[in-house]
Structure 1
Amino acid sequence: MAKKKTISLLLTAGLVLSVNGVSAQEPSQAPNAQSATAFDNKVIKKISADNMYDTIAKLSAQPRAAGTEGELIGAQYIKSQFEQYGYETELQPFPFYEALRNNVSGTLEVNGKPLNPYVMSGSYSGEVTAEVVYVGLAYADKVPEAVKGKIALIERGDITFVEKIKNVLDKGALGVIMYNNSGTTNRFGSANPGQNIPAVAITRAQGLDLVEQLKAGSLTATIKVEGSGFIEKTSYNVIAKMKPNKNKDTGQVVMVGAHHDSVPGGPGANDDASGVSAVLELARVMAKTQIDTELRFVTFGAEEKGLLGSSYYASTFSEEEADRIVAHFQMDMIGSRDAGGDHPAGGLIMYTIDGKKNLVTDLGSAAGARTAAAETIPMGQLGRSDHEPFHLLGIPAALFIHSPLEPWYHTPADTIDKIDKNKLQETAEIVGASVYQIARPDTPALKNARVAPGLVDYEFENRSPGA
């Protein structure tokens, strides 16, 4: 893993950029916001919400679920646009595994009594009969050796389903019965490819009853799962790069991303054709702009499957490459007229993984105050999007999104008629001005900035997306 960067940006009496704690200029030398705006206009005046709207129309004409023809059509269109703008472009395929849910069946009997279980998503298909051993929450250091050759009874909670299954599988368990930690449902749970033991879920009441029965004596269970497992599919990342002239190259990289896949059956106009539209528009605008930093625009596949595309792309970085990337700007769901509630700036917020300010949020909030939004953009804490894998590499990263989310999030009603062009424009301007602040030759290697935004003070908000 790449070491955590020490690049910082202090917004006091103007912008003071520093690297490894060494300031590039004194606060008193920082120019005013008007100078910064003049330079911003080289980028933001060229941004067209109409272009973005047209992109959303093209991408949302059909669903783009990962691994489908619709996703590939969308990815190829994005690639063609990047190429048209003059970028070095790559369509990066990667495999992923999708759980089979059609024609899946499962049974569970304990001491001859049927319990009508739910088959965990992706469970291995097979039949096993063995004694039951209670292993609690199945922490790796708490699973007893006695589970070897037995069926593990596990309580849901604290760690993920796949971790629990791995921990008992590592100790030689032959099957899994997992009971809920609240409520009355048994519909939960998932396994990973390669976890080749049948795994089923039961209700909390059923699980607690089995725990009590085990206190009185042994139990023997039979688990039978049919039709379950995984199918391998292919998704894609689209990567576009533009390097500066060698004589001006700082060796640094700034990244802008969005995910192009949608949920199955959904047109995904806002989620996330809107983000992709801004990525493409900023790539178009910046294609002919003077830069001293490599621009890297990426749209990710299989975000809806668990950030798979961004995680795959981040996994390809060497430590040296990760250290060259000074910022990652992620845009997800930036165009819905019905998102954001009554919050200022249409509800736009910047989420970081750890809830701490970084270079991206500093630049983003300052840009918001001097662009079309005319608002200081707040920050919050949230994962659930493609900024996470880059944060884990030590790269300053943030998610730009309107929060709380719209009522038709992840439904077939996420259509283009609900897109607000003003929100598209404002978000693209904020991200574009922020990226340009890093990439323009006036700020080589984030040092010696002579054009800077003015003073801003932005707050942390404990705001949930609500979905």
Structure 2
Amino acid sequence: MVSRSFRRLCGAAAAAVLLGAFTIATPAQAHSSNNPVKKLTKEVTLPGVLRHLVAFQGIAALNGGNRASGLPGYDRSADYVAALAKKAGYKVTRQPFSFTYCEDTGSSFRQLSPTPTTYVDQTDYDVLDCSGDGTATGQAVPVDVNLTPPRASSSGCEASDFGPDVVGKIAIMQRGAPPGVTCTFGVKVQNAQAAGAIGAIIFNQGNGTPEANPDRYGLFAGTLGGPVSIPAVSVSYDLGAALVAAAQAGTLNLEISVDAISETRNTSNVIAESRWGDPNEVVMVGSHLDSEPDTAGINDNGTGSAGILEVALQMAKFKTKNKVRFAWWGAEESNLVGSTFYVANLPQAERDKIALYLNFDMIGSPNYTFGVYDGDDSAAEGSPAGPPGSAQIEDVFEAFFASRGEATDASDFTGRSDYGPFIAAGVGIPAGGLFTGAEVQKTAADVALWGGVAGAQYDPCYHAPCDSLTPERDGADAALYRQLRREYRLFGNVNTFALETNADAVATAVATFAYDTSTIPPRTPPAAAAARTAAVGAAQDSEGAWLG
């Protein structure tokens, strides 16, 4: 049953969307404070953040159920953010750009022989973003796979991986790449296509252990980075290994069918810069504003966008020492296009003015963990440390969570979100941020720290229509959400405790650096930055080009 307070909040927010009636700070209210960090953190409240989520849900409801870049729901979301930021006194700009819009509107995946099986979308397989449109039916063949632990794989990374036996067949490839080799999912599928394959399957690598590395075993979402002409899907390690075994034992026949759209569309970033502060010392804060085309994206990434919007509105009252620049990125779900476009088109002199970048992507996952980007690589897993200064950013977040008595998890710099272009080769801007988890399953060890449901995804509605304020109505597992609601207080597909705590962490970090960046070391010289971040690029390539 929907509570009265929920209905009141929905009604108030809906009216605000239509009338532009949110009460926000005006420039006349600007002031300084003896303790601006504590003051800003206090003024950023859960109801303040939730009102923006209700607005995003309302926008999605009026625009086809989504807020995806290239569609009206994103444009209205950008209008909403820009209008509030401008009214609060920020200098607001819209940065237009074009991108390849990809959407699958339907799919099926079946094993025809030797064991007729119909696989379930989002459970057994996922269509890779920018997959080709059409149906591939025929024999499947493995391509240079390695099922022997530790399962080091470069399957499909080189044209030489494909022999004449792949022509007219469906190529089964394994996730992974050798160190230092650029080999995204797109590279693998393009190589398969060039070799004459009629379809492609990429299965998870299966390196590490299922307990310690569940993200390397389960079903994953990925992007090809651009359109291909053959249908392509991803599957888990276990399903991939079973398909490989069936193919090696005899004739494995499959059918992959994808209804897909791929075309150039226009969208924009929204940039809001404070009137106060040193323009040569810019603290940049970003979240992607777009959703997937089949969802309102309330957690991914309504939570990050709403969180930094509320921080920006409340921070408009403060005269900060440093310039603060907020960004809401477009087309992140199309492989970080908006943030990449922004960084690529920023002159070097302007890049040098950015002291650091803070990224907030999914900060209210229902079955959450408190993830902090691992700036110093203390976990020694995956990608190396961030550019110099990233460790100091991590320290600020760690100190905040310690003050709340909350445990944190080191979230690897995989390049999966919009910090990627900032830490990339030749840029080397220090970065940090928060992440409460996506499609990876929560472990028993996680439950011991944060509660919740072991074996369920951190966000059970990740990239699904149920990432909304009415998840069960939109297809979520009702039994699982009843269990989550017994554990936590949820607001739709959002954990209110995680969101409120993380919103305070956002405010604390933004205010800390808005007044003092002295802990951030001088920028690494470009040559050294390129060398360090080239390692990050290599690590990202081994993961594949991920969706956020």
TM-score (norm 1): 0.65
Residue-pair matches, total: 389
- State how far apart, in whole Å, the 1-side matches of 2:358 and 2:328 are: 12
Assess if the C-alpha contact under 8 Å between 2:142 and 2:173 holds in 1: no
1:249-290 superposed Cα distances (whole Å, 9 cap, x missing partner): 5x1221112222233443333332222222112212222422
- State how far apart, in whole Å, the 2-side matches of 1:205 and 1:406 are: 27
1:323 counterpart = 2:389: no
Give the equivalent residue in structure 2 for 1:455: none
Moved more, 48-57 or 157-166: 157-166
Give the equivalent residue in structure 1 for 2:533: none
Coordinate RMSD, CA, aligned: 4.9
1:44-81 superposed Cα distances (whole Å, 9 cap, x missing partner): 23323322221111112223133221111111100111
2:428 to 372, 394, 415: 394
Paired residue type of 1:56: L
Moved more, 82-91 or 422-431: 422-431
Q: How far does residue 178 in structure 1 lie from its aligned partner after superposition?
A: 3.8
Give the equivalent residue in structure 1 for 2:55: 58
Give the equivalent residue in structure 1 for 2:175: 158
2:96 to 63, 82, 93: 93
What is the percentage of aligned positions where both structures have the same residue? 26
1:117-174 superposed Cα distances (whole Å, 9 cap, x missing partner): 999754556999xxx9986333326347x769955764411344421233356xx534
Distance 1:155 1:288, change over 3 A: same
- State how far apart, in whole Å, the 1-side matches of 2:142 and 2:96 are: 42
Give the equivalent residue in structure 2 for 1:270: 299
Assess if the C-alpha contact under 8 Å between 1:333 and 1:401 holds in 2: yes
- State how far apart, in whole Å, the 1-side matches of 2:402 and 2:220 are: 46
Assess if the C-alpha contact under 8 Å between 2:142 and 2:244 holds in 1: no
State how 1:426-445 maps to structure 2 within 5 Å. 426-440=501-515
Paired residue type of 2:503: A
Assess if the C-alpha contact under 8 Å between 1:89 and 1:240 holds in 2: yes
Give the equivalent residue in structure 2 for 1:43: 40
Assess if the C-alpha contact under 8 Å between 2:271 and 2:327 holds in 1: yes
- Ranked by relative contact order (alpha carbons within 8 Å, sequence separation 6 or more), the top structure is 1
Tell me which structure has the larger Cα radius of gyration.
1
Give the equivalent residue in structure 2 for 1:81: 84
1:193-242 superposed Cα distances (whole Å, 9 cap, x missing partner): 4645677999877767777889xxxxxx9x99997562333333211122
Paired residue type of 2:73: G
Q: How far does residue 303 in structure 1 lie from its aligned partner after superposition?
A: 2.9
1:412-452 superposed Cα distances (whole Å, 9 cap, x missing partner): 26318345655444323322222222222x656959xxxxx
- State how far apart, in whole Å, the 2-side matches of 1:210 and 1:116 are: 17
1:385-421 superposed Cα distances (whole Å, 9 cap, x missing partner): 3233323242222231335524444442631834565
Give the equivalent residue in structure 2 for 1:351: 373
Give the equivalent residue in structure 2 for 1:417: 491
Which consecutive unaligned segments of at least 5 residues does structure 2 have?
1-32, 61-65, 120-124, 145-154, 177-183, 207-218, 380-384, 443-457, 470-489, 522-547
State how 1:256-335 maps to structure 2 within 5 Å. 256-335=285-364
1:60-111 superposed Cα distances (whole Å, 9 cap, x missing partner): 22231332211111111001111111212122233333445458899999xx
Distance 1:106 1:192, change over 3 A: farther
- State how far apart, in whole Å, the 1-side matches of 2:189 and 2:349 are: 35
2:395 to 355, 358, 362: 362
- State how far apart, in whole Å, the 2-side matches of 1:328 and 1:198 are: 37
Assess if the C-alpha contact under 8 Å between 1:256 and 1:296 holds in 2: yes
State how 1:402-413 maps to structure 2 within 5 Å. 402-403=436-437, 405-409=458-462, 410-412=464-466
TM-score (norm 2): 0.57
Q: How far does residue 381 in structure 1 lie from its aligned partner after superposition?
A: 2.2
Which consecutive unaligned segments of at least 5 residues does structure 1 have?
1-35, 110-114, 215-220, 341-346, 448-466
Give the equivalent residue in structure 2 for 1:380: 411
Assess if the C-alpha contact under 8 Å between 1:123 and 1:199 holds in 2: yes
Distance 1:103 1:240, change over 3 A: closer
Give the equivalent residue in structure 2 for 1:12: none
- State how far apart, in whole Å, the 1-side matches of 2:432 and 2:164 are: 43
Assess if the C-alpha contact under 8 Å between 2:202 and 2:233 holds in 1: no
